[in-house]
Amino acid sequence: MKGLPEDTQIDFEEGHLTTSLQTRSDVIRWTLIDFSDPTVSHRKFIRRWNRLSRFQRSLVYAAIVISITMLVILYNSKMANDLPKDNAMKAAEDSHQNVSLVTEPESAQIQHKKAMIEMDLNERPTFTGPSNARQYAVVESFKHAWRGYKEHAWGHDNLKPVSGMASDWFSLGLTIVDSLDTAFIMGLTDEYEEGKEWIKKELIFTKNKDVNFFEVTIRVLGALLTNYHFTEDDMFLDKAKDLGDRLMAAFSSPSGIPYSDVNLGTRTAHAPEWSHYSTTAEVTTIQLEFRELSRASNNPVYEDAAAAVSEKIHQLPKKHGLVPIFINPNTGRFLPHATITLGARGDSYYEYLLKQWLQTGKTINYLLDDYMTAMEGVREFLAKRSSPNKHLFIGELSAGSEAFNPKMDHLTCFLPGTLALGHVNGLPDWHMTMAEELLYTCYLTYSAHPTFLAPEITHFNMVSVTEDMYTKTADAHSLLRPEFVESLWYMYQITGNTTYQDWGWQIYQGFEKYARVAYGYSSIANVKSEKSVHRDMMESFFLSETLKYLYMLFSEDRFLIDLNKYVINSEAHPLPVHKN
């Protein structure tokens, strides 16, 4: 018989097949019994079975187990293929841990089912830790800051890293919650697990205390949703839903434009004590988070409330797409002749126009239209050149007169990254040209100082023959803000130009030399002096944003966070892009 060894002997006995394989010292006897033959007695079976060695019996057992396993697999495969379409959808939902029991309209349920089937859970990002010297340095910086916070301010909002004291703003453990996904991205398992355990056991929203609606949304709600998406741990989603329900009080104004302050414990909201107005950027920089909460919890109420704000502001008159920085939640109208700026209180309105459009699969056209019109307005009214070297900068229109003021907040340095993000998604080439020029100007605000750190505000000369920019003493402090390194990361991911990595490394060295203190990293009072005084405050955004963007900027994998799959909120928390 073809394929058998030459020393194989074939014997036929009483309808049984016996094959003997002759080896050097022994004969291994394999017996296959024809169980369909009624003449085979039970005694013969026992006798032949007892002749087998332990090894031979193990082979028989293994063959039986393999056969049964194959039959089960074939059966399950057939059953799955035979499921009706609706049942297949239900099976996909049941296997996903974030299914909610909240009732919603049938059309929304169908959309949610489709989205669940389209989502490949295996596409959740995986992070393996640092891979080069620069990343290892940033990880060590994060661990230094985390240790100081853990030892001296654990459970409080912020650390005073010089004095080793705690500081509270909202009493929500901001540093833990805000920076937890940074630890996850860096592969810091111990830090991540201890932060997660604190959130699980200690993070509550029942205190009778006012919080800022915008800050808690981007820092706490955004962080909880990112960690839920990264891990699929329902604990994060449960916390997010509890917080989201309490934050909904902000929308209780007559116009639906949110109040700035919310008492999470009493679920009430009101305007700030100093004004009847809310900040335009704040009420328009909560949509990414509330939309994602609706998608994750299968409850449209959050998205509906936040999206209505964008729609109302879309309908208001503007100066070529540019918005005043204050809006009245009672009337739903802008404060007339308020400052127009891409700095404080105005910045993220423009950022979230583009990012909402991307988050919803480029399907909400008015968001893109408003963004495009606004960027045209920036180019026409706010973009100017300094003297004598013609550096591009973004100024502002002053309150009252709307006269041009040649000052630029460090916050405005988010714009190059946003412009580049728009360009890579099909917007005009001049967006990228402006991004590159403005990014260089932002770099100069760092390199112009001996600390290689940028001030909070830079002023520009438009008729000078000597200096293009200068820093006033009152504006010379640095909070270790993230906006410039954020734009560096976008530009590096989009272009692959390693110059942006080198710029980031220079800034990181400035942080290490002038901001690092005994228990963490402190803001400094004067970037113009190498002997600057430390202001004794470590903001949560330094860990959540600044160090995160530096770590990702230095990654050999440019697409550590894929911008085709994620949109990054204003506090550097990645949220998934949806198809609608």
Catalytic residues, by residue number, are 215, 347, 456, 483
Give yes or no for a contact between 550 and 485, defined as CB atoms under 8 angstroms apart. Answer: yes
Q: Hey, what are 18's tokens? A: 């016996």
Give yes or no for a contact between 279 and 339, defined as CB atoms under 8 angstroms apart. Answer: no
Q: Hey, what are 206's tokens? A: 């029942």
Alpha carbons 7 and 193: distance in angstroms, whole number: 63
Q: Estimate the crossing angle of helix 301-315 against helix 365-377, to 10 degrees.
A: 40
Give yes or no for a contact between 352 and 570, defined as CB atoms under 8 angstroms apart. Answer: yes
Bond into 388 cis (ω within 30)? yes
**Distance set, CA 513 to CA 160, 484, 491, 508, 532 (Å):** 18, 19, 26, 9, 11
Q: Which residues contact 552 (CB under 8 A, 6 or more apart)?
A: 185, 489, 560, 561
Alpha carbons 245 and 222: distance in angstroms, whole number: 14
Alpha carbons 499 and 491: distance in angstroms, whole number: 10
Residue 343: helix, strand or coil by DSSP? Answer: coil
Residue found by looking up tokens 């990264």 in the block: 230
Cα 387 versus chain centre, distance: 39
Residue found by looking up tokens 């056991």 in the block: 201
Q: Which residues pair with 333 in a beta bridge?
A: 328
**Distance set, CA 91 to CA 82, 85, 86, 97 (Å):** 13, 10, 9, 12
Alpha carbons 56 and 59: distance in angstroms, whole number: 5
Strands (DSSP E) along 210-340, which ranges? Answer: 210-212, 261-263, 268-270, 278-279, 326-328, 333-334
- With vertex at residue 492, the alpha carbon angle to CA 128 and CA 546, rounded to the nearest 5 degrees, is 65
Tallying the residues shown for the chain, one arrives at 580
Residue 15: helix, strand or coil by DSSP? Answer: coil
Alpha carbons 108 and 105: distance in angstroms, whole number: 5
Cα 49 versus chain centre, distance: 63
Give yes or no for a contact between 536 and 148, defined as CB atoms under 8 angstroms apart. Answer: no
- DSSP letter at 186? T
Q: Which residues contact 559 (CB under 8 A, 6 or more apart)?
A: 493
Strands (DSSP E) along 342-406, which ranges? Answer: 383-385, 392-394, 396-397, 404-405
Q: Which residues pair with 517 in a beta bridge?
A: 520
Residue found by looking up tokens 């002096």 in the block: 529
Helix residue ranges, H only, 162-265:
174-185, 189-202, 213-216, 222-231, 234-247
